[in-house]
Structure 1
Amino acid sequence: MSKILVGSAPDSWGVWFPNDPQQTPYTRFLDEVAASGYEWIELGPFGYLPTDPQQLRDELGSRGLKLSAGTVFEHLHQDNSWDAVWTQIEDVAKLTAAVGGKHVVVIPEMWRDPATGEVLEDRTLTDEQWRKKTQGMNELGKAMFEKYGVRAQYHPHADSHVDTEENIYRFLENTDQQFVNLCLDTGHVSYCGGDNIAIINAHPDRIGYLHLKQVD
Protein backbone atom coordinates (compact mmCIF):
# COMPACT_ATOMS: atom_id res chain seq x y z
CA MET A 1 0.00 0.00 0.00
CA SER A 2 1.35 3.41 -0.98
CA LYS A 3 1.71 6.20 1.54
CA ILE A 4 2.50 9.91 1.58
CA LEU A 5 5.40 11.11 3.70
CA VAL A 6 4.63 14.68 4.77
CA GLY A 7 7.46 17.17 5.18
CA SER A 8 8.14 20.89 5.03
CA ALA A 9 10.61 23.27 3.43
CA PRO A 10 12.46 26.53 4.06
CA ASP A 11 9.95 28.49 1.96
CA SER A 12 7.30 27.73 4.60
CA TRP A 13 9.50 29.90 6.84
CA GLY A 14 9.65 32.66 4.21
CA VAL A 15 13.08 31.67 2.89
CA TRP A 16 13.59 32.51 -0.78
CA PHE A 17 17.30 33.28 -1.10
CA PRO A 18 20.59 31.60 -0.17
CA ASN A 19 21.57 34.65 1.88
CA ASP A 20 19.31 37.37 3.24
CA PRO A 21 19.72 38.99 6.68
CA GLN A 22 15.93 39.33 6.96
CA GLN A 23 15.39 35.57 6.60
CA THR A 24 15.20 33.05 9.41
CA PRO A 25 18.72 31.68 10.07
CA TYR A 26 19.03 28.09 8.91
CA THR A 27 19.73 26.77 12.43
CA ARG A 28 16.49 28.28 13.69
CA PHE A 29 14.59 26.85 10.73
CA LEU A 30 15.96 23.38 11.44
CA ASP A 31 15.18 23.68 15.15
CA GLU A 32 11.64 24.87 14.53
CA VAL A 33 10.77 22.42 11.74
CA ALA A 34 11.92 19.55 13.98
CA ALA A 35 10.00 20.95 16.95
CA SER A 36 6.89 21.12 14.74
CA GLY A 37 7.06 17.36 14.37
CA TYR A 38 8.36 17.02 10.82
CA GLU A 39 10.95 14.41 9.89
CA TRP A 40 11.39 15.37 6.22
CA ILE A 41 12.52 18.66 4.69
CA GLU A 42 13.63 20.07 1.35
CA LEU A 43 16.95 21.75 0.67
CA GLY A 44 15.50 25.15 -0.20
CA PRO A 45 17.62 27.70 -2.12
CA PHE A 46 21.04 26.20 -2.71
CA GLY A 47 23.39 27.74 -0.15
CA TYR A 48 20.79 28.38 2.55
CA LEU A 49 21.49 25.08 4.30
CA PRO A 50 25.14 23.99 4.53
CA THR A 51 26.53 22.81 1.19
CA ASP A 52 29.19 20.61 2.79
CA PRO A 53 27.61 17.12 2.83
CA GLN A 54 29.08 16.07 6.18
CA GLN A 55 28.03 19.29 7.90
CA LEU A 56 24.52 18.99 6.46
CA ARG A 57 24.26 15.34 7.53
CA ASP A 58 25.34 16.34 11.04
CA GLU A 59 22.84 19.22 11.23
CA LEU A 60 19.99 17.02 10.03
CA GLY A 61 20.95 13.97 12.07
CA SER A 62 21.23 15.86 15.34
CA ARG A 63 17.58 16.91 14.93
CA GLY A 64 16.20 13.63 13.57
CA LEU A 65 15.58 15.15 10.13
CA LYS A 66 15.90 13.65 6.64
CA LEU A 67 16.18 15.33 3.23
CA SER A 68 13.60 14.50 0.59
CA ALA A 69 14.58 16.79 -2.30
CA GLY A 70 16.51 19.71 -3.67
CA THR A 71 15.06 22.43 -5.93
CA VAL A 72 16.32 24.05 -9.15
CA PHE A 73 14.98 26.21 -11.98
CA GLU A 74 15.23 25.57 -15.73
CA HIS A 75 14.91 27.59 -18.93
CA LEU A 76 15.61 24.83 -21.43
CA HIS A 77 13.32 26.33 -24.08
CA GLN A 78 15.95 29.02 -24.63
CA ASP A 79 18.89 28.59 -27.00
CA ASN A 80 22.22 27.44 -25.55
CA SER A 81 20.73 26.94 -22.09
CA TRP A 82 21.97 23.44 -21.24
CA ASP A 83 25.29 24.35 -19.61
CA ALA A 84 23.79 26.96 -17.28
CA VAL A 85 20.93 24.68 -16.22
CA TRP A 86 23.15 21.62 -15.79
CA THR A 87 25.66 23.53 -13.65
CA GLN A 88 23.06 24.35 -11.02
CA ILE A 89 21.47 20.91 -11.35
CA GLU A 90 24.81 19.27 -10.60
CA ASP A 91 25.34 21.30 -7.44
CA VAL A 92 21.88 20.50 -6.10
CA ALA A 93 21.70 16.87 -7.26
CA LYS A 94 25.15 16.05 -5.87
CA LEU A 95 24.34 17.49 -2.42
CA THR A 96 20.84 15.99 -2.35
CA ALA A 97 22.15 12.53 -3.17
CA ALA A 98 25.05 12.83 -0.71
CA VAL A 99 22.68 13.21 2.23
CA GLY A 100 20.18 10.58 1.09
CA GLY A 101 17.63 12.61 -0.88
CA LYS A 102 15.98 10.88 -3.84
CA HIS A 103 14.33 13.75 -5.73
CA VAL A 104 15.12 17.08 -7.35
CA VAL A 105 12.15 19.39 -7.94
CA VAL A 106 12.65 21.22 -11.26
CA ILE A 107 10.71 24.48 -11.71
CA PRO A 108 10.33 26.40 -14.98
CA GLU A 109 11.66 29.94 -14.78
CA MET A 110 8.96 32.59 -15.05
CA TRP A 111 8.21 34.69 -18.12
CA ARG A 112 7.99 37.83 -15.98
CA ASP A 113 10.03 39.14 -13.10
CA PRO A 114 8.53 37.85 -9.82
CA ALA A 115 9.55 41.01 -7.95
CA THR A 116 8.59 43.74 -10.42
CA GLY A 117 6.11 42.04 -12.75
CA GLU A 118 8.16 43.12 -15.78
CA VAL A 119 7.49 40.89 -18.79
CA LEU A 120 10.77 39.21 -19.74
CA GLU A 121 9.62 37.08 -22.70
CA ASP A 122 6.49 35.92 -24.49
CA ARG A 123 4.20 34.00 -22.14
CA THR A 124 3.42 31.41 -24.84
CA LEU A 125 6.04 29.01 -26.20
CA THR A 126 6.33 28.17 -29.86
CA ASP A 127 6.15 24.53 -30.92
CA GLU A 128 9.93 24.53 -31.30
CA GLN A 129 10.40 25.97 -27.81
CA TRP A 130 8.10 23.29 -26.41
CA ARG A 131 10.22 20.67 -28.16
CA LYS A 132 13.41 22.12 -26.66
CA LYS A 133 11.90 22.22 -23.16
CA THR A 134 10.47 18.70 -23.15
CA GLN A 135 13.41 17.09 -24.94
CA GLY A 136 15.79 18.99 -22.68
CA MET A 137 13.95 17.76 -19.59
CA ASN A 138 14.15 14.17 -20.84
CA GLU A 139 17.91 14.53 -21.21
CA LEU A 140 18.22 16.35 -17.88
CA GLY A 141 16.19 13.75 -15.99
CA LYS A 142 18.19 10.93 -17.53
CA ALA A 143 21.53 12.58 -16.67
CA MET A 144 20.45 13.35 -13.10
CA PHE A 145 19.37 9.79 -12.46
CA GLU A 146 22.29 8.08 -14.15
CA LYS A 147 24.93 10.26 -12.50
CA TYR A 148 23.43 10.92 -9.06
CA GLY A 149 20.49 8.52 -8.66
CA VAL A 150 17.94 11.30 -8.08
CA ARG A 151 14.60 11.61 -9.82
CA ALA A 152 13.44 14.74 -11.66
CA GLN A 153 10.01 15.88 -10.43
CA TYR A 154 8.72 18.75 -12.59
CA HIS A 155 6.86 21.54 -10.79
CA PRO A 156 4.39 23.62 -12.86
CA HIS A 157 4.43 27.23 -11.68
CA ALA A 158 2.26 30.31 -12.01
CA ASP A 159 3.61 32.88 -14.50
CA SER A 160 5.76 30.21 -16.16
CA HIS A 161 5.30 28.40 -19.45
CA VAL A 162 4.09 25.22 -17.74
CA ASP A 163 1.22 26.56 -15.67
CA THR A 164 -2.29 25.61 -16.77
CA GLU A 165 -3.82 22.14 -16.76
CA GLU A 166 -3.61 22.12 -20.57
CA ASN A 167 0.10 22.93 -20.51
CA ILE A 168 0.74 20.33 -17.82
CA TYR A 169 -0.85 17.66 -20.02
CA ARG A 170 1.22 18.80 -22.99
CA PHE A 171 4.39 18.60 -20.90
CA LEU A 172 3.58 15.11 -19.60
CA GLU A 173 2.65 13.79 -23.02
CA ASN A 174 6.03 14.85 -24.41
CA THR A 175 8.32 13.72 -21.60
CA ASP A 176 9.63 10.28 -20.69
CA GLN A 177 8.03 8.76 -17.60
CA GLN A 178 11.21 6.82 -16.93
CA PHE A 179 13.13 10.01 -16.15
CA VAL A 180 10.65 12.88 -15.67
CA ASN A 181 7.49 12.99 -13.58
CA LEU A 182 5.31 15.58 -11.91
CA CYS A 183 5.63 17.48 -8.68
CA LEU A 184 1.96 18.36 -8.39
CA ASP A 185 1.70 21.69 -6.58
CA THR A 186 -1.95 21.98 -5.61
CA GLY A 187 -1.72 25.72 -5.02
CA HIS A 188 -0.17 26.67 -8.34
CA VAL A 189 -2.55 24.39 -10.26
CA SER A 190 -5.59 25.92 -8.54
CA TYR A 191 -4.25 29.47 -8.99
CA CYS A 192 -3.93 28.82 -12.73
CA GLY A 193 -7.51 27.51 -12.97
CA GLY A 194 -6.63 23.81 -13.09
CA ASP A 195 -8.29 20.80 -11.48
CA ASN A 196 -5.85 18.84 -9.30
CA ILE A 197 -8.12 15.80 -9.05
CA ALA A 198 -8.56 15.71 -12.83
CA ILE A 199 -4.77 15.73 -13.30
CA ILE A 200 -4.35 12.91 -10.79
CA ASN A 201 -7.09 10.87 -12.47
CA ALA A 202 -5.66 11.49 -15.94
CA HIS A 203 -2.04 10.67 -15.06
CA PRO A 204 -1.90 8.85 -11.70
CA ASP A 205 1.34 7.11 -12.65
CA ARG A 206 3.08 10.43 -13.31
CA ILE A 207 2.60 11.97 -9.85
CA GLY A 208 5.99 11.46 -8.22
CA TYR A 209 5.92 14.24 -5.62
CA LEU A 210 3.45 16.69 -4.04
CA HIS A 211 3.51 20.27 -2.85
CA LEU A 212 0.43 20.91 -0.72
CA LYS A 213 -0.82 24.45 -0.07
CA GLN A 214 -3.23 26.02 2.42
CA VAL A 215 -3.45 22.87 4.52
CA ASP A 216 -4.72 22.91 8.12
Structure 2
Amino acid sequence: MPGTLRQVAELGYRSVETAGTHGRTAAEFRTVLDDLGLRATSGHADLDGGVDALIEDARALGNRQVVVPHAVFDTADGWRAFADELNEAGRKCRAAGLRFGYHNHDHEFAPVDGVLPYDVLRERTDRRFVHFELDLYWAVHAGQDVLALIDAERDRIRQLHVKDRAPDGEMADPGTGTLDFPAIFAHARSACEYIVEHDQPTDPLRTAGVGFDYLRAVRW
Protein backbone atom coordinates (compact mmCIF):
# COMPACT_ATOMS: atom_id res chain seq x y z
CA MET A 1 0.00 0.00 0.00
CA PRO A 2 2.69 2.62 0.82
CA GLY A 3 4.47 1.82 -2.45
CA THR A 4 1.29 2.19 -4.46
CA LEU A 5 0.46 5.52 -2.84
CA ARG A 6 4.03 6.68 -3.44
CA GLN A 7 3.55 6.04 -7.16
CA VAL A 8 0.21 7.86 -7.07
CA ALA A 9 1.94 10.86 -5.50
CA GLU A 10 4.70 10.70 -8.11
CA LEU A 11 2.07 10.95 -10.85
CA GLY A 12 1.17 14.36 -9.43
CA TYR A 13 -1.83 13.65 -7.24
CA ARG A 14 -2.11 15.61 -4.03
CA SER A 15 -5.51 14.31 -2.89
CA VAL A 16 -7.17 10.92 -2.87
CA GLU A 17 -10.46 9.35 -1.89
CA THR A 18 -10.07 6.39 0.43
CA ALA A 19 -12.08 3.18 0.43
CA GLY A 20 -10.97 1.34 3.53
CA THR A 21 -7.55 1.48 5.18
CA HIS A 22 -6.16 -1.83 3.94
CA GLY A 23 -5.15 -3.44 7.20
CA ARG A 24 -4.09 -0.22 8.92
CA THR A 25 -5.88 1.89 11.45
CA ALA A 26 -7.11 5.23 10.20
CA ALA A 27 -4.28 6.94 12.09
CA GLU A 28 -1.67 4.61 10.57
CA PHE A 29 -3.04 5.19 7.08
CA ARG A 30 -2.95 8.95 7.68
CA THR A 31 0.72 8.74 8.60
CA VAL A 32 1.49 7.11 5.24
CA LEU A 33 -0.47 9.81 3.42
CA ASP A 34 1.26 12.60 5.33
CA ASP A 35 4.70 11.17 4.59
CA LEU A 36 3.87 11.26 0.87
CA GLY A 37 2.29 14.71 0.81
CA LEU A 38 -1.18 13.31 0.10
CA ARG A 39 -4.50 14.31 1.63
CA ALA A 40 -7.50 12.00 1.87
CA THR A 41 -10.02 14.75 1.22
CA SER A 42 -12.84 12.24 0.83
CA GLY A 43 -13.55 8.74 2.03
CA HIS A 44 -16.00 5.97 1.27
CA ALA A 45 -17.50 4.39 4.38
CA ASP A 46 -20.60 2.41 5.21
CA LEU A 47 -22.86 2.87 8.19
CA ASP A 48 -22.58 -0.66 9.55
CA GLY A 49 -20.14 0.32 12.28
CA GLY A 50 -22.16 3.31 13.39
CA VAL A 51 -21.91 6.99 12.62
CA ASP A 52 -19.68 7.81 15.58
CA ALA A 53 -17.01 5.37 14.40
CA LEU A 54 -17.32 6.70 10.86
CA ILE A 55 -16.74 10.25 12.10
CA GLU A 56 -13.80 9.20 14.26
CA ASP A 57 -12.06 7.50 11.32
CA ALA A 58 -12.84 10.37 8.97
CA ARG A 59 -11.25 12.84 11.36
CA ALA A 60 -8.19 10.65 11.76
CA LEU A 61 -7.82 10.37 7.99
CA GLY A 62 -8.34 14.08 7.45
CA ASN A 63 -11.47 13.64 5.33
CA ARG A 64 -13.58 16.68 4.57
CA GLN A 65 -16.27 14.56 2.95
CA VAL A 66 -17.58 11.09 3.76
CA VAL A 67 -19.61 9.12 1.23
CA VAL A 68 -21.69 5.95 1.52
CA PRO A 69 -20.63 4.04 -1.59
CA HIS A 70 -23.42 1.51 -2.12
CA ALA A 71 -26.83 0.35 -1.00
CA VAL A 72 -29.44 -2.02 -2.42
CA PHE A 73 -33.05 -2.54 -1.29
CA ASP A 74 -35.80 -4.51 -3.00
CA THR A 75 -38.67 -2.27 -1.87
CA ALA A 76 -39.38 1.44 -2.05
CA ASP A 77 -39.95 1.44 1.69
CA GLY A 78 -36.47 0.04 2.15
CA TRP A 79 -35.04 2.97 0.19
CA ARG A 80 -37.17 5.41 2.20
CA ALA A 81 -35.89 4.01 5.47
CA PHE A 82 -32.35 4.22 4.14
CA ALA A 83 -32.90 7.85 3.18
CA ASP A 84 -33.96 8.56 6.76
CA GLU A 85 -30.79 6.84 7.95
CA LEU A 86 -28.72 9.03 5.64
CA ASN A 87 -30.40 12.13 7.06
CA GLU A 88 -29.52 11.17 10.61
CA ALA A 89 -25.92 10.34 9.69
CA GLY A 90 -25.69 13.57 7.73
CA ARG A 91 -26.84 15.62 10.71
CA LYS A 92 -24.18 14.09 12.90
CA CYS A 93 -21.49 14.56 10.27
CA ARG A 94 -22.50 18.17 9.73
CA ALA A 95 -22.21 18.79 13.49
CA ALA A 96 -18.73 17.25 13.35
CA GLY A 97 -17.68 19.54 10.50
CA LEU A 98 -17.93 16.93 7.74
CA ARG A 99 -19.92 16.81 4.51
CA PHE A 100 -21.85 13.58 4.03
CA GLY A 101 -22.99 12.08 0.76
CA TYR A 102 -24.16 9.08 -1.23
CA HIS A 103 -22.56 7.54 -4.34
CA ASN A 104 -24.71 5.99 -7.06
CA HIS A 105 -24.33 2.99 -9.31
CA ASP A 106 -26.83 2.13 -12.05
CA HIS A 107 -29.44 0.25 -10.03
CA GLU A 108 -30.69 3.44 -8.36
CA PHE A 109 -32.17 4.33 -11.75
CA ALA A 110 -34.15 1.08 -12.13
CA PRO A 111 -37.75 1.22 -10.81
CA VAL A 112 -38.57 -0.44 -7.50
CA ASP A 113 -42.26 -0.56 -6.61
CA GLY A 114 -42.88 1.96 -9.39
CA VAL A 115 -40.36 4.58 -8.24
CA LEU A 116 -36.68 5.21 -8.88
CA PRO A 117 -34.52 4.77 -5.78
CA TYR A 118 -32.51 7.80 -6.90
CA ASP A 119 -35.68 9.90 -6.82
CA VAL A 120 -36.53 8.57 -3.37
CA LEU A 121 -33.11 9.68 -2.14
CA ARG A 122 -33.43 13.06 -3.85
CA GLU A 123 -36.85 13.77 -2.43
CA ARG A 124 -36.50 12.27 1.05
CA THR A 125 -32.98 13.27 2.07
CA ASP A 126 -32.35 16.72 3.49
CA ARG A 127 -30.19 18.81 1.17
CA ARG A 128 -28.63 20.49 4.20
CA PHE A 129 -27.12 17.21 5.33
CA VAL A 130 -26.82 14.86 2.35
CA HIS A 131 -25.12 15.55 -0.97
CA PHE A 132 -24.54 13.34 -4.00
CA GLU A 133 -21.32 11.99 -5.42
CA LEU A 134 -22.44 11.44 -9.00
CA ASP A 135 -20.73 8.52 -10.72
CA LEU A 136 -20.83 9.61 -14.32
CA TYR A 137 -20.21 6.21 -15.86
CA TRP A 138 -22.94 4.45 -13.92
CA ALA A 139 -25.46 7.21 -14.55
CA VAL A 140 -24.83 7.13 -18.32
CA HIS A 141 -24.77 3.32 -18.26
CA ALA A 142 -28.26 3.46 -16.74
CA GLY A 143 -29.45 5.61 -19.65
CA GLN A 144 -29.53 8.87 -17.72
CA ASP A 145 -28.87 12.36 -19.06
CA VAL A 146 -26.19 13.51 -16.63
CA LEU A 147 -26.69 17.17 -17.54
CA ALA A 148 -30.33 16.85 -16.50
CA LEU A 149 -29.31 15.11 -13.28
CA ILE A 150 -26.97 18.00 -12.50
CA ASP A 151 -29.67 20.55 -13.30
CA ALA A 152 -32.08 18.82 -10.93
CA GLU A 153 -29.66 18.80 -7.98
CA ARG A 154 -27.04 21.38 -8.88
CA ASP A 155 -26.31 22.48 -5.32
CA ARG A 156 -26.18 18.90 -4.01
CA ILE A 157 -23.81 17.30 -6.52
CA ARG A 158 -20.51 18.14 -4.87
CA GLN A 159 -18.36 15.32 -6.19
CA LEU A 160 -18.02 13.60 -9.56
CA HIS A 161 -16.55 10.17 -10.18
CA VAL A 162 -14.77 10.56 -13.50
CA LYS A 163 -14.74 7.26 -15.32
CA ASP A 164 -15.32 6.89 -19.03
CA ARG A 165 -17.51 4.53 -21.02
CA ALA A 166 -16.26 2.68 -24.10
CA PRO A 167 -18.52 2.27 -27.16
CA ASP A 168 -19.23 -1.32 -26.09
CA GLY A 169 -20.44 -0.15 -22.67
CA GLU A 170 -17.36 -1.23 -20.73
CA MET A 171 -15.52 1.11 -18.38
CA ALA A 172 -12.65 3.09 -19.86
CA ASP A 173 -9.95 5.43 -18.62
CA PRO A 174 -10.97 9.11 -18.54
CA GLY A 175 -10.73 10.74 -21.94
CA THR A 176 -10.56 7.46 -23.89
CA GLY A 177 -14.27 6.73 -24.18
CA THR A 178 -17.52 8.36 -25.22
CA LEU A 179 -18.42 10.71 -22.34
CA ASP A 180 -18.25 14.42 -23.11
CA PHE A 181 -16.43 15.44 -19.95
CA PRO A 182 -15.77 19.06 -21.00
CA ALA A 183 -19.51 19.63 -21.43
CA ILE A 184 -20.28 17.86 -18.16
CA PHE A 185 -17.66 19.80 -16.21
CA ALA A 186 -18.81 23.10 -17.66
CA HIS A 187 -22.34 22.25 -16.61
CA ALA A 188 -21.36 21.11 -13.10
CA ARG A 189 -19.83 24.38 -12.04
CA SER A 190 -20.72 23.85 -8.40
CA ALA A 191 -19.03 20.44 -8.15
CA CYS A 192 -16.03 20.84 -5.93
CA GLU A 193 -14.19 17.55 -6.34
CA TYR A 194 -13.35 15.46 -9.42
CA ILE A 195 -12.20 11.90 -8.69
CA VAL A 196 -10.53 9.58 -11.19
CA GLU A 197 -12.01 6.10 -10.90
CA HIS A 198 -12.15 2.76 -12.67
CA ASP A 199 -13.80 -0.21 -10.96
CA GLN A 200 -11.74 -2.94 -12.62
CA PRO A 201 -8.72 -1.49 -14.40
CA THR A 202 -6.25 -3.85 -16.04
CA ASP A 203 -3.41 -1.51 -15.02
CA PRO A 204 -4.51 0.66 -12.07
CA LEU A 205 -1.49 2.96 -12.04
CA ARG A 206 -1.77 3.54 -15.78
CA THR A 207 -5.43 4.47 -15.27
CA ALA A 208 -4.40 6.85 -12.50
CA GLY A 209 -1.82 8.47 -14.77
CA VAL A 210 -4.14 8.77 -17.76
CA GLY A 211 -6.86 10.20 -15.54
CA PHE A 212 -4.57 12.73 -13.89
CA ASP A 213 -3.19 14.00 -17.20
CA TYR A 214 -6.65 14.19 -18.75
CA LEU A 215 -8.24 16.06 -15.84
CA ARG A 216 -5.34 18.47 -15.56
CA ALA A 217 -5.66 19.30 -19.26
CA VAL A 218 -9.43 19.42 -19.68
CA ARG A 219 -10.45 20.93 -16.35
CA TRP A 220 -7.55 23.06 -15.26
Q: Give the structure-1-normalised TM-score.
A: 0.67
Partners of 2:79 and 2:117 within 8 A in 1: no
Given candidates 112, 117, 120, the residue that maps to 1:167 is 117
Consecutive unaligned residues in structure 1, runs of 5 or more: 1-25, 74-84, 112-121
Q: CA deviation at 1:86?
A: 4.9
Alignment check: 8 A CA contact 2:80 2:120 kept: no
What letter matches 1:137 in structure 2? L
**Could you say which residue in structure 2 is the equivalent of 1:183?**
133
- Determine whether 1:28 maps to 2:27: no
Q: Deviations over 1:153-201 (max 9, x none)?
A: 1111234xx2459532331121101110110110111111111111111
What's the counterpart of residue 138 of structure 1? 87
SS in 2 for 1:43: strand
Corresponding residue for 2:58?
96
Which stretch shows the higher mean deviation, 136-145 or 177-186? 136-145
Say if 1:183 and 1:210, in contact at 8 Å, map to a contact too. yes
User: Paired residues, what number?
Assistant: 162
Match of 1:47 in 2: 21
Mapped contact 1:70–1:93 kept (Cα < 8 A): no
The CA deviation at 1:49 is 6.3
Q: What is the distance in 2 between the residues matched to 1:201 and 1:103?
A: 22
Q: Alpha-carbon deviations, 1:78-137, whole Å to 9, x = none? A: xxxxxxx352544343222223211111123346xxxxxxxxxx3xx23x3232121111
Q: Is the 8 A contact 1:72 1:89 kept in 2?
A: no
- Partners in 2 of 1:151 and 1:139 — Cα distance? 13
1:5 aligns with none
Amino acid of the residue matched to residue 174 of structure 1? R
**Structure 1 200/52 Cα, relative in aligned 2: closer, same or farther at 3 Å?**
closer
1:204 counterpart SS class = coil
**1:37 pairs with 2:8:** no
